[in-house]
Structure 1
Amino acid sequence: MKPLLKLTNASLYYKSGFRFFRARKKIALKDLSFQISPGDKLGVLGRNGSGKSSLLKLLAGIYQPDRGQYLAAQGARAAFVGLQQGFVPYMTGSENIVLTGILMGMSKDEVQNKIRAIINFSELGEAISEPVYSYSAGMKARLAFAVSAFSNPDILLIDEAMSVGDRAFRVKSSEKISELISGDAAVVLVSHEPKLIQSVCSKALWLERGGIVLEGDSTSVAEEYRKSFEENHKYSAEDDAQEKSMNSSISRVYD
């Protein structure tokens, strides 16, 4: 089966600070090699700063590797369900729906057929006719989520920080994610909560400092990840509490 996405020794760098008038180059992702095929449910485990979000942006085509190779199947449609999608500030919410949908691979007719459902899901009401620069961060995030969720992607890229809006909208968005995950699309879900990865994904990889520590079935990787941080007392109660609400919302459809 032909892969939808493939990374071969892919590395990504960023510049941080200046030393003697030269920016220092740091590693965001290091020598990553794996592929995503139709129907795959891949979990990516790692602490904050391990490179999870950078990996999602690389898979979405937002970043290109500084070294190595990134290949995407022709016509493959990827949707990045997260908080960091950009809009054109001076365009209205409706206009941004059309533009973003087309950039995600939808036809203009397809976007027009779905625009009412997207607007209703976002709960923006009359604000959808206002320029996006007037939106709060939460309104932008809800609109970005709605467009991604209705794009019928071949690959669904999910950021653990996707919960947006009030409690009711967070529940609704989690239910929509559950619906999408249980469909035919390939899924890449990043998190630092092993129970969530274990319940949703069939295979997983563990990132640390931008590199792959372990790759395999989700149960084995999640157990090794958990044991590592229990032994080193680095798996905090705060991290656990932060993920419990999302874990219960998404994984309950698999119980």
Structure 2
Amino acid sequence: MSGRESTVKINALKELSLVAYQGEAIGVIGLNGSGKSTLMNLICGKIQPTTGAIYASSTPIMLGVSAALVPDLSGAHNVILGCLAMGLTKAQIADRHEAIMELAGLGSSINLPMRSYSAGMASRLRFAIAAAIDPEILIIDEALNTGDDEFRGRTKQRMDQLREQAGCVFLVSHSLKTIQDLCTRVIWIDKGDLLFDGDTETALGWYRKYTKELAGGDRFAAAKIRRRMQNTLDTVSIEPLQPGRRRSVRA
């Protein structure tokens, strides 16, 4: 009898190819466990792909400076800590401080300890801090599902600014309204497969039909929609041009 433990290999994502362009706000949708967060962790370099490669024009920044934030300190102090952790100088922080406060929209609560914040308040502050550095590639994973219409309006304005500055934003969310309001393109992942990559309205329309069939217990109809998405998906291949550069070709 062997004392060696057996291991099970799980492929969170199957082979897929996609290209993100400057000026895009890309929504990422899918059921829980579909592989959305795995894809974002791959893009930002937190985990390495077992096959293939990822190329980026700059280092992707994932919304999440939680490790640098201290719950016992005020939101205002955590703004400084978070910005320092992202590499901003004290002068840059001072220059952007007012804009960060305005985007977070916490009012006098900015002076309270972060441990007193609701999950939504903390997410708003983290987004305001992460968006302060004008990242070329920003990844937001399940952070903007809370907040009122005013905050969503400020968020959209800031994301539009990032895109206008030749930036690219990935937004993972279960809120289809948030995706609809903020994104110019949608990627739909299901069970590790890329099912759709394209127009926001088309993606959300089919996704709503798919989830409705699943919720109603009609797995046959849901599977039919899934097959249709796979059969009509435009595939993208990445071809080398010269060292460090690649081009995309749609099949």
Fold conserved between structures, TM > 0.5: yes
Q: Kindly state the Cα deviation for residue 39 of structure 1 after the two structures are TM-superposed.
A: 0.4
Structure 1 gap segments, 5+ residues each? 1-19, 236-255
Residue aligning to 2:144: 162
Q: Kindly state the Cα deviation for residue 161 of structure 1 after the two structures are TM-superposed.
A: 4.3
Q: Kindly state the Cα deviation for residue 73 of structure 1 after the two structures are TM-superposed.
A: 1.6
Does the CA-based 8 Å contact 2:60-2:139 persist in structure 1? no
Task: Rate the CA distance shift 1:73–1:226 in 2: closer, same or farther, 3 A.
Answer: same
Q: Kindly state the Cα deviation for residue 212 of structure 1 after the two structures are TM-superposed.
A: 0.8
Q: How does 1:75-94 map onto structure 2 within 5 Å? A: 78=61, 80=63, 85-89=66-70, 92=73, 93-94=75-76
Does the CA-based 8 Å contact 2:68-2:85 persist in structure 1? no
Q: How does 1:173-188 map onto structure 2 within 5 Å? A: 173-183=151-161, 184=164, 185-188=167-170
Residue aligning to 2:184: 202
Whose radius of gyration is greater, 1 or 2? 2
Residue aligning to 1:115: 97
Residue aligning to 1:15: none
Does the CA-based 8 Å contact 1:42-1:204 persist in structure 2? yes
Give identity over the alignment, percent. 29
Residue aligning to 1:42: 26
Opposite residue 53 of structure 2, the aligned amino acid is: Q
C-alpha distance after superposition, 1:42-94 (max 9, x if no partner): 22221122122333333334x222423223223x56352x6x84334388455
Q: Provide the C-alpha distance between the structure 2 equivalents of 1:142 and 1:106, rounded to a whole number of angstroms.
A: 19
Structure 1 stretches of 4+ with a deviation exceeding 6 A read none
Residue aligning to 2:233: none
Structure 2 gap segments, 5+ residues each? 218-251
Secondary structure of the 2:96 match is: helix
Task: Rate the CA distance shift 1:30–1:135 in 2: closer, same or farther, 3 A.
Answer: farther
Normalised TM-score (structure 1): 0.62
Task: Rate the CA distance shift 1:234–1:209 in 2: closer, same or farther, 3 A.
Answer: farther
Does the CA-based 8 Å contact 1:204-1:221 persist in structure 2? yes
Residue aligning to 2:197: 215
Q: How does 1:16-55 map onto structure 2 within 5 Å? A: 21=5, 24-55=8-39
Q: Provide the C-alpha distance between the structure 2 equivalents of 1:225 and 1:98, rounded to a whole number of angstroms.
A: 40
Secondary structure of the 1:71 match is: coil
Q: Provide the C-alpha distance between the structure 2 equivalents of 1:154 and 1:108, rounded to a whole number of angstroms.
A: 21
Task: Rate the CA distance shift 1:30–1:137 in 2: closer, same or farther, 3 A.
Answer: farther
Task: Rate the CA distance shift 1:54–1:172 in 2: closer, same or farther, 3 A.
Answer: farther
Greater strand share, structure number: 1
Residue aligning to 1:126: 111
Task: Rate the CA distance shift 1:22–1:116 in 2: closer, same or farther, 3 A.
Answer: farther
Q: Provide the C-alpha distance between the structure 2 equivalents of 1:137 and 1:58, rounded to a whole number of angstroms.
A: 29
Residue 72, structure 1, aligned to residue 56, structure 2: yes
State the superposition RMSD in angstroms.
3.5
Does the CA-based 8 Å contact 2:69-2:82 persist in structure 1? no
